[in-house]
Structure 1
Amino acid sequence: MTIVNTHQAEAWNGYEGNHWADHYTRYDAVNSGFNDYLLHHVRDGDRVLDVGCGNGQVTRLAARRAGHVTGIDLSAPMLHVARAAAEAEGIAAVDFQQGDAQVHPFPAGSYDLVMSRFGIMFFADPVAAFANIARGLRSGGRVAMLSLRSAGDSDLGAVLNALAAHLPAPEPDQDGVGPTSLSDPGHIGEVFTAAGFAEVEATPVEAMQVWGSDADDAADFLMAWGPVRFLLERGDPAAALRARTALVSALRPFEQPDAVRLRGTANLITAIRP
């Protein structure tokens, strides 16, 4: 397997990937409110590629209506979950491949639709990555992908701000990209156009995200989430305790009788390969 996004490969085959795999139902609860934005674009009989498929929830749901769906991801732990879930659900029209979508040798013109639920923001060279993905699409093939908007647009951003006084400042991402690298619609248009796509649109969308059963449960989950955990490791135990207290307080206003729900925001990116 050829990998150019080496830092991402290390993260998603290390703590980050294992945490997502071990807690796949919780991460699906966070992100599944966005599923229909993607599944709306799946047509009967489509050959679909799911980029950054992770634990494979969207891949499996798409396979129930498409002809066949291939999920690709860097993370071996998450792909193990995806394959086991597909087998347990009796879904045959699906396969999962470990690979770096920036350079993976996709068969030319093989797909009718390429989709992704937040799996496209970490490419070392986004234009090269999306050009490579485009080669796998047939002429007239479609794209439906989700990328995160600025954290300040979401409830999660406000909650995480409560941690800022208690954690070291985050270091720049080693690949020069990060979760909000495709937050700006203008930049999205430039990247996808340079990669060879046409009719590029970035539509703002939002969904409610379930982060836990109550504020304490959600705080514990967020404290173990990779980006937060890595910052905690650079601080001292006393600061970690203060951070958790601040986080619980910030989450209290979002408690509902059955869960903590935060409003999440994203861009729905659609495009056509000419």
Structure 2
Amino acid sequence: MACGFDYDGEMRRYQPRLREALAVGPDDVVLDIGCGSGTTTREVARLATRGSAVGVDVSPERLAVARRDAPANASFVRADAQVHPFPPARFTLAFSRYGTMFFADPAAAFANIGRAVRPGARFVQLVWQGSARQEWVTEIRRALADGAPVAGDESAFSLGDPAVVTELLTTAGFIGVGVTDLSEPIWYGPDPDAAVEAVLPLRLTRDVLDQLAGADRERAFDRLRAVMAAHHTADGVWFGSRSWLVTARGGGG
């Protein structure tokens, strides 16, 4: 998603579920993986009053935003969590809000994170379930392709199978893996026009639009606006979604 996308607004219904699962304590030392513009990092830092929080992300633009108004115990590092040399057994809590699905080598990434957390440390992730379970995916693809089947990028859904996630984490040395089914609507803007603009940076949108030109492209935009209008409520444009809340504990030591 583009840097200007209101990711926090989109995920507003999931944030309380994540906050509850994290249960940040005052002494926690926290790692936020794929922190983006840093909202989640700053929130946990304010809860870890005697501890600290580190947010890592690969986007310098997002990290520049993240550093604004950050509390003194929050820091940000431009890094790929798959390979970054974190201090061993440093963190009491590691988490990610939709940031672990894009690792080129997830087995290596989770092993690296496993080395960075202390024995018994909590590891919490929110990841998307499969694309077929996401109304936002199926509706946008249907609109843009006029109902025709679309073979889109599936990287955002790479952890959609609980068995795959469990095996990856267990192999990486984590213990007590749990996977909880969550379903919440996600928000794409206050009105249909804003929602269209919001989804244009998404890869699932670009994959189709980049193949169209002229009248075909304009008709696709018209269908996309119509879908947004159909999902418009008094509180903005909402689509159904399904996620997994994945929890585990560090098994080292």
Scaled by the length of structure 2, the TM-score of the pair is 0.90
The answer to whether structure 1 residue 115 and structure 2 residue 95 are counterparts is: yes
Moved more, 184-193 or 163-172: 163-172
Structure 1 consecutive aligned stretches of length 4 or more whose deviation exceeds 6 Å: none
**SS of the counterpart of 1:213?**
coil
CA distance in 2 between counterparts of 1:266 and 1:273 reads 22
**Which of 231, 234, 242 lines up with 1:257 in the alignment?**
234
**Size of the alignment, in residue pairs?**
246
Give a deviation string over 1:155-209, Cα, whole Å, max 9, x none: 212321222338995566xxxx700000011111111111111111111112222
* Partner AA of 2:173 in structure 1: G
CA contact (8 A) 1:109 1:139 kept: yes
CA distance in 2 between counterparts of 1:144 and 1:32 reads 17
* Partner AA of 1:82 in structure 2: A
CA 1:197–1:133 in structure 2 vs 1: closer, same or farther (change >3 Å)? same
Identify the structure with the greater helix proportion.
Answer: 1
CA distance in 2 between counterparts of 1:136 and 1:32 reads 29
**SS of the counterpart of 1:22?**
coil
Shift in Å at residue 245 of structure 1?
Answer: 1.2
**SS of the counterpart of 1:55?**
coil
The percent identity for this pair of structures is 35
The answer to whether structure 1 residue 54 and structure 2 residue 36 are counterparts is: yes
* Partner AA of 1:115 in structure 2: F
**SS of the counterpart of 1:48?**
strand
CA contact (8 A) 2:187 2:237 kept: yes
CA distance in 1 between counterparts of 2:104 and 2:54 reads 22
* Partner AA of 2:41 in structure 1: T
CA 1:233–1:157 in structure 2 vs 1: closer, same or farther (change >3 Å)? closer
CA contact (8 A) 1:147 1:182 kept: yes
CA contact (8 A) 2:146 2:223 kept: no
Give a deviation string over 1:127-176, Cα, whole Å, max 9, x none: 1100000100001111111111122223212321222338995566xxxx
CA contact (8 A) 1:214 1:260 kept: yes
**Which of 9, 18, 29 lines up with 1:38 in the alignment?**
18
* Structure 2: runs of 5 or more not aligned: none
CA distance in 1 between counterparts of 2:17 and 2:93 reads 14
CA distance in 2 between counterparts of 1:230 and 1:162 reads 13
Shift in Å at residue 230 of structure 1?
Answer: 4.6
Listed as ranges, the matches of 1:71-110 within 5 Å are 71-86=55-70, 91-110=71-90
CA distance in 2 between counterparts of 1:264 and 1:85 reads 31
CA distance in 1 between counterparts of 2:239 and 2:12 reads 13
| Residue of structure 2 equivalent to 1:159 | 139
CA distance in 2 between counterparts of 1:229 and 1:104 reads 30
Moved more, 62-71 or 227-236: 227-236
| Residue of structure 2 equivalent to 1:210 | 187
**SS of the counterpart of 2:80?**
coil
Give a deviation string over 1:15-70, Cα, whole Å, max 9, x none: x5xx2x233xx221002322222222222211000000011111111111012110
CA 1:110–1:210 in structure 2 vs 1: closer, same or farther (change >3 Å)? same
| Residue of structure 2 equivalent to 1:12 | none
* Structure 1: runs of 5 or more not aligned: 1-15
Shift in Å at residue 247 of structure 1?
Answer: 1.4
**SS of the counterpart of 2:183?**
strand
| Residue of structure 1 equivalent to 2:224 | 247
CA contact (8 A) 2:145 2:208 kept: no
CA distance in 2 between counterparts of 1:37 and 1:136 reads 25
* Partner AA of 1:179 in structure 2: A
| Residue of structure 1 equivalent to 2:123 | 143
CA contact (8 A) 1:52 1:71 kept: yes
* Partner AA of 1:127 in structure 2: A
CA distance in 1 between counterparts of 2:139 and 2:191 reads 14
